[in-house]
């Protein structure tokens, strides 16, 4: 399938989506969001894909929703056509792991796309921010909730109320990103992490992802109960037998997602 605003590739068992609207710093317009949702759905359905990476350019992961496209919108129109509602949720709907490889600006909706990913790896050039307040609005794709859960109330309030950007170093200290790497190493590091994850049992990875997500939604006792049930369930898989046999036999496991 031909895309106009993203580049879609497969490297081994990893699906790679590169946002590609350089003239507007990868601003997320309706076409790009629609294409990204289509590509994610395609990778979700592809049995050979075990992990997905979303990235942008050296200058910008994405500088937010497309302000030029959004500027003339009205409240009734926004309500009536569910203003791009579905595609904004495409990342968080993904059951396979999604990694954001962020260099340059990740602002507004761009930051929210990264926040919806399971892991963010940042280049040392990355800048994160939710500057919607400077436009007279607020984050609308999960930013007020996910940033607050990631970095805590004080820092989230400061960023959301003032529009201040965070450096990569600050984002790592605040636990917004899992790792910061030199810009030149970003894609090698991310693709090698994604390949490693894609090499695991796809069933165990999916269950692990769902179980970690539970930590945000449930009380500790409910989360622990969910984890225990999920853990037991994995003893019904061939991959559990293979993984443990491979350890005992001192060889690399060959998972078949069964
Ligand atoms: N939209 C449209 N065009 C953008 C853009 C954006 N978000 N960001 C940059 N551009 C364009 C610029 O207009 C410029 O285009 P030309 O003027 O050359 O035609 C080109 O990209 C290069 O940008 P600059 O010349 O400004 O580059 P600088 O290096 O000087 O500055 C910057 C880079 C990233 C600091 C600056 O461009 C900037 O402040 N950009 C806007 C950042 C921003 O405010 N982002 C938040 C947007 S609001 C929703 C959910 C979520 C949202 C919406 C709906 N629903 C669920 C419905 C999200 C809203 C947002 O993200």
pTM for the predicted model, two decimal places = 0.96
Q: What proportion of the chain, given as a percentage, has pLDDT over 70?
A: 99
For residue 137, with 0-12 CB atoms within 10 Å meaning exposed, 13-18 middle and 19 or more buried, which class applies?
exposed
Report the pLDDT value the prediction gives residue 84, as an integer from 0 to 100.
64
Residue 112 annotated in active site: yes
Pocket test for ligand 1, best of 19, 62, 67 (most atoms within 8 A of CB): 67
**pLDDT, greater one: 81 or 84:** 81
Residues 30-73 pLDDT 10s? 999 999 999 999 999 999 999 999 999 999 999 999 999 999 98
Residue whose CA lies nearest to ligand 1 atom number 47: 64
Average pLDDT over residues 99-122: 98
The reply to whether ligand 1 has any atom less than 6 angstroms from the CB of 133 is no
Mean pLDDT of the chain: 96
Contact 53, 15 (CB under 8 A): yes
Nearest C-alpha neighbor of 205 from the set 56, 129, 99, 87 = 99
Q: What is the mean pLDDT of residues 183-203?
A: 98
Chain Cα centroid distance, residue 97: 8
| Confidence label for 75 from pLDDT (cuts 50, 70 and 90) | confident
Token pair, residue 112, equals 């929210």
Least confident span in 79-83, 181-185, 254-258: 79-83
């Amino acid at each position: 399938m031909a895309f106009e605003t993203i580049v879609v590739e497969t490297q081994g068992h990893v699906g790679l989506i590169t946002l590609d609207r350089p003239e507007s710093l990868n601003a997320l317009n309706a076409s790009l969001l629609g294409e990204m949702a289509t590509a994610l759905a395609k990778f979700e359905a592809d049995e050979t894909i075990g992990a997905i990476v979303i990235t942008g350019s050296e200058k910008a992961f994405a500088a937010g929703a497309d302000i030029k496209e959004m500027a003339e919108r009205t409240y009734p129109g926004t309500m009536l056509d569910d203003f791009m509602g579905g595609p904004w949720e495409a990342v968080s709907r993904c059951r396979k792991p999604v990694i954001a490889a962020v260099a340059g600006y990740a602002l507004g909706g761009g930051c929210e796309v990264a926040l919806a990913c399971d892991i963010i790896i940042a280049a040392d050039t990355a800048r994160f921010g939710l500057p919607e307040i400077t436009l007279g609005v607020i984050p609308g794709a999960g930013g007020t909730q996910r940033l607050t859960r990631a970095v805590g109330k004080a820092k989230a309030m400061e960023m959301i109320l003032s529009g201040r950007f965070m450096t990569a170093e600050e984002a790592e200290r605040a636990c917004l990103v899992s790792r910061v790497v030199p810009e030149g190493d970003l894609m090698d590091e991310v693709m090698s992490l994604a390949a490693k994850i894609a090499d695991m049992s796809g069933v165990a990875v999916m269950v692990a992802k769902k179980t970690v997500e539970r930590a945000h939604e449930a009380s500790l006792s409910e989360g622990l109960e969910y984890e225990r049930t999920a853990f037991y369930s994995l003893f019904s898989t061939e991959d559990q037998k293979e993984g443990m046999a491979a350890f005992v036999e001192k060889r690399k496991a060959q998972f078949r997602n069964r």
